[in-house]
Amino acid sequence: MQVSFYGAVREVTGSMHLLSTERDRILLDCGMFQGRRRETRDKNTVMPFDPRILTNVVLSHAHIDHSGRLPLLVKNDFAGRIISTRATAAACEYLLPDSAHIQESDAQYLNYKMVRSALQKMERSKKKGKKQIRSLKKNKHQLNVDRINDLIDSLDLEGVTPLYSAEDAEEALTRFDGNPYRYPVTIGDGITCTFYDAGHILGSAISIIRARDNGRNYTIGFTGDIGRFDKPILEDPTLEFDEADRELDLLIMESTYGDRQHEPVVNLKSRLKQVLVDTYDRGGTIMIPSFAFGRTQELLYVLHELYTEGDVPHFPVFVDSPLATNITRVFVEHPEAYDQETHETFLQQGKNPFQFEEVSFVGSVQESIALNQDQTPHIVVSASGMCEAGRILHHLRHKIHNSRNTVLIVGYMAQNTLGRRILELGEAYEAAGRKGEVPLVRFMNKEYPLKARVVKIGGFSAHADKDEMFRLLQESNLQVNKIALVHGEEDQILGFEKDLKGKGYDVVVPQKGETIQV
């Protein structure tokens, strides 16, 4: 048996690992790379193998950096099943079509820029050129896609095509096979997979794969992303595994925060409370870039608790993400995944954890535009979580230059993303006492002064930190022969490798494309 590592290798996006036996090839995750547009497009477009060789896919959870290239796999003739938990399958019903819409919109925008640039260079008459350029848009906010495509053909330009279409995403959804936790499912010839709760997001799973190959039995564990202990809403990561799944030849383990410790979970509410009070005293708005899946629901939960306790200012709360609205419905439909505290605090009282008097879910573009221009104090929770696309960009554009406002960072910001730039520049400006030249942040083709306060609350992270990952290894009943570390930037993954080896573990940190023999 062999395992090849193709994505989230010494980085944190694009999760993809291939398990090969004599008869089968099982893909663990098929995630999208995120970061700089040009670099990630090249990475995402090219598959490192022919999808037709795959038997099935095992999907650890629904986040796009783990699931986002599944439609591309199907588009390129993958014929197998996508095995996941039931909640993961339900979440993907919204996440994958949304991803397809982003791919299509991104391609349309890049084609618009290319045609506009070509017209500016080619047209001799300024008047005629301006008229041609004006024809590329139907109105201020809508591209004339048909006109742009016609000009691509007539000007003999090489247009940008989306990674996949909405139809590809819908086809991928027909391949899903949702399963409960602790239920072995056959995924190949003599190969089974059993899911255990990873505690990361709704439906996230630690996958235990048992296989017989060349006359020998193998057991492989894949953590996917490991959650935190004692977080709101979801159960903790599993520590008790069934007897048949305990002895692992290899554990493929994430290491996102392998060299870092989070703020204690118990500090979450107090830290958020302080941000609410400080921003309210300044008369400002709180902008929260948030992943639609997981982080948004956790924020609503904690805000609901704070508002119920009654000692914080009651900002109006707007969830400005149609995807987050849909995913919140998925959460409501899967209360079996909630921890005991959530049942006692909300469900047994007849309350929805994610709905309270002050919260509104923004639907239409027109409502979102009106909220952009609203200068009264409020909280807006909007996607995308790393500020790379979506409605959060428009809220930042209208409010990032105002020192009354706060940009609240509640999640991981990958390298080369706008969210990471805002965080690093904001922290540096605060460290300098907010004196000197105001940092500039460039996005949406313009530079904006970063006068808004930038605050990070690390306790909201859905990823286990170093101590919590050690807890999984040391307090669970797993017996691990070898660990392969993935899903971590090099400073984190190498730091975790060093600590693990110091505790006596046999550890390898694969290079991209490397294959190891189990």
> Tens of pLDDT along 216-254?
999 999 999 999 999 989 999 999 999 999 999 999 999
Question: Which amino acid, residue 230?
Answer: D
Q: Compute how many other C-beta atoms are within 10 angstroms of the C-beta atom of residue 385.
A: 29
Q: Which two tokens stand for residue 283?
A: 């008369």
* pLDDT grade for 151, boundaries at 50, 70 and 90: very high
Residue 331 CB coordination number (10 Å): 28
Q: Which residues on adjacent β-strands are paired with residue 516?
A: 3
pLDDT at residue 297 is higher than 90: yes
Query: What H or E segment, with its residue span, contains residue 486?
Result: strand 483-486
Minimum mean pLDDT range among 82-96, 136-150, 340-354, 466-480: 136-150
DSSP, collapsed to helix, strand or coil, labels residue 434 as coil
> What are the E-state strand segments in 398-437?
406-409
Token digits of residue 124: 């001799």
Cα(418)–Cα(259) distance, integer angstroms: 23
pLDDT tens for 377-387 read: 999 999 888 89
pLDDT at 41: 84
What Cα–Cα distance (Å) separates residue 53 from each residue in 26, 77, 245?
9, 10, 27
Question: What pLDDT, on a 0 to 100 scale, did the predictor assign at position 128?
Answer: 60
> Which tokens in the block code for residue 174?
């027909």
102 vs 300, which has greater pLDDT?
300
Question: In angstroms, rounded to a whole number, what is the distance separating the alpha carbons of residues 360 and 446?
Answer: 30
Tokens at residue 213, please? 């190959």
Instruction: Give residue for tokens 């986002």.
Output: 68
126 pLDDT higher than 60: no
| pLDDT given for residue 23 in this prediction | 96
pLDDT of residue 124: 57
Least trusted range by pLDDT, from 36-45, 256-265, 460-469, 482-491: 36-45
**DSSP reduced 3-state for 185:** strand
At residue 159, the pLDDT reads: 93
pLDDT the model gives residue 25:
98
- Report the DSSP beta bridge partners of residue 505: none
pLDDT band at 462 (very low <50, low <70, confident <90, very high): confident
Q: Which residues are CB-neighbours of 436 under 8 A, at least 6 positions away?
A: none
Rounded to whole angstroms, the Cα distance separating 502 from 285 reads 47
Measured CA to CA, the distance from residue 315 to residue 373 in angstroms comes to: 17
> pLDDT at position 191, please?
98
Q: How far is CA 182 from CA 193, 208, 369, in A?
A: 9, 10, 46
- Name the H helices within 232-332: 268-282, 295-309, 322-332
**Which pLDDT band, with edges at 50, 70 and 90, does 460 fall under?**
confident
CA dihedral 111, 115, 118, 120 (to 10 degrees): -130
Please report which confidence band the pLDDT of residue 189 belongs to, taking 50, 70 and 90 as the band edges.
very high
CA–CA dist 226, 242 (Å, integer):
18
Spatial separation of the C-alpha atoms in residues 305 and 213, rounded to whole Å:
52
Which pLDDT band holds residue 494 (cuts at 50, 70, 90)? Answer: very high
Per DSSP, which regions of 45-198 are E strands? 56-58, 82-85, 137-139, 142-143, 176-179, 185-188, 191-197
State residue 152's pLDDT score.
93
pLDDT band at 42 (very low <50, low <70, confident <90, very high): confident
**Segment 92-124, tens digit of pLDDT:** 999 999 999 988 988 998 899 999 988 888 765
Res. 458 pLDDT band, cuts 50 70 90: confident
Distance CA 367, CA 345 (A): 32
Tokens of 59: 């999907």
Q: What is the pLDDT of residue 414?
A: 80
Query: Residue 301: what pLDDT?
Result: 95
Q: How far apart are CA 184 and CA 14, in angstroms?
A: 26
Decide: 5 and 17 in contact? Cβ < 8 Å. Answer: yes
pLDDT at residue 98, rounded to an integer: 92
Say yes or no to pLDDT of 13 above 60: yes
Contact 202/330 with Cβ under 8 angstroms? yes
Residue 396 reports pLDDT greater than 60: yes
398-440 pLDDT, tens digit per residue, is 999 999 999 999 988 888 889 999 999 999 999 999 999 999 9
pLDDT score at 134:
83
Tell me the CA end-to-end span of the chain in Å, nearest whole number: 6
Inform me whether the pLDDT recorded for 388 exceeds 90: no
Structure tokens at 444: 């949406």
Query: What is the average pLDDT score of the chain?
Result: 93
Task: For residue 110, count CB atoms less than 10 angstroms from its CB and return exposed for 0-12, middle for 13-18, buried for 19 or more.
Answer: middle
Edge-to-edge strand order for the sheet containing 216-222? 185-188, 191-197, 205-213, 216-222, 250-254, 483-486, 507-508
| Four-residue CA torsion sign, 229, 234, 237, 241 | positive
Q: Provide the pLDDT for residue 174.
A: 98
- Average pLDDT score over residue span 24-35: 94
Closest CA to 211 of 481, 19, 17, 484: 19
Tokens 């694009």 belong to which residue?
Answer: 14
β-bridge mates for residue 7, sequence order: 16
